[in-house]
Amino acid sequence: MAKSLLSQLKQMTTVVADTGDLDAIRRFRPHDATTNPSLILQAAQQEDRRERLARIAGESRDLDEALDRVAVDIGSEISALIPGYVSTEVSARLSFDREATVARAHSLIEHYRQAGVDPERILIKIASTWEGIQAATQLEREGIQTNLTLLFGFTQAKACADAGATLISPFVGRILDWHKARNPEADFSGQRDPGVISVKQIHDHFKANGYSTVVMGASFRNTDEIQALAGCDRLTISPKLLGELEEQTGTLARQLSATGAGTSTEDAASLDEATFRWQMNEDAMADEKLAEGIRKFMADQRRLETLLGELGHKG
């Protein structure tokens, strides 16, 4: 019997489910799972969660605590279904506030501890702004593991690795979106995909320089992008694309490996704040997509805040 692309991918890459959908997690049996404000909103809107959300909203001191408790409630359910990490995101509103990000990370970890989930299984997701990366430096020193997200370029990735982040989530599909919008007639298929190229550059630099930070490709638009990154440390994939990979057969070739990374030509020197901000300013795609990503996550968080406010008032 021919093996599915998904089963072959699991042999060379740790597969992560990019969802808060428990049924999808049960079906695809990923090792880890990631959530974000948009996915938490989707999960929270399920009818069978309304009563629990109302209870959480009514019991919480304020909206911030309610948001944390909802994320942890969903994350705790996910943790019971997988053997590995659950990624839970700090509020996008705090993307430029190092101290507040650290405080909210502590809050999330404490809520997980109270829920009986080992904090070592939690990755705190933080936007890859300069302030977010500095917060990750402090959290990692304290033993709290981080996942730096909304990452669109090498500058962010380099700074995250220098900060000692446990894992980074370089986005693929949103990079492709930016380039397609500006050059719709170009061929971005396969290895020409600019998001794929970006992740490969990051992966090869990390392996060539001995960084321990895990590279987890994210934000895929199609299964071709996933196949082009087979062999990456981790890939976080939506249920829709996991289903397509499960249905497809054929031979999946490894594209990335630690031994095949070669020698990186990138500068290995650490970035200071001024250099980081200048390089981000020079990279229009990364700069624009980071800002857009924060706005989009915040828009969904506001919808969740509104929902919790309504449920708490009814309670």
For 136-188, how does the pLDDT look when each residue is reduced to its tens digit (9 = 90+)? 999 999 999 999 999 999 999 999 999 999 999 999 999 999 999 999 999 99
**Which amino acid is it at 297?**
F
Query: Is 125 a residue of the active site?
Result: yes
The answer to whether the CB of 150 falls within 8 A of the CB of 171 is: yes
Helix, strand, or coil here: 254?
coil
Find the Cα–Cα–Cα–Cα dihedral 300, 71, 221, 242, rounded to 10°.
Answer: -150
Neighbours of 130 (CB within 10 A): 19
Which fold would CATH assign to domain 5-314?
Answer: TIM Barrel (3.20.20)
For 259-275, how does the pLDDT look when each residue is reduced to its tens digit (9 = 90+)? 755 555 566 678 999 99
Q: What does pTM read for this prediction?
A: 0.94
Radius of gyration of the chain (CA): 19
Options 3, 10, 125, 314, the catalytic residue: 125
User: Which of 218, 198, 209, 253 lies closest to 35, judged by CA?
Assistant: 218
Find the Cα–Cα–Cα–Cα dihedral 239, 106, 156, 25, rounded to 10°.
Answer: -10
The answer to whether the CB of 261 falls within 8 A of the CB of 203 is: yes
Position 260 scores a pLDDT of 59
**What is the domain partition of the chain in residue ranges?**
5-314
Q: Which residues pair with 168 in a beta bridge?
A: 148, 215
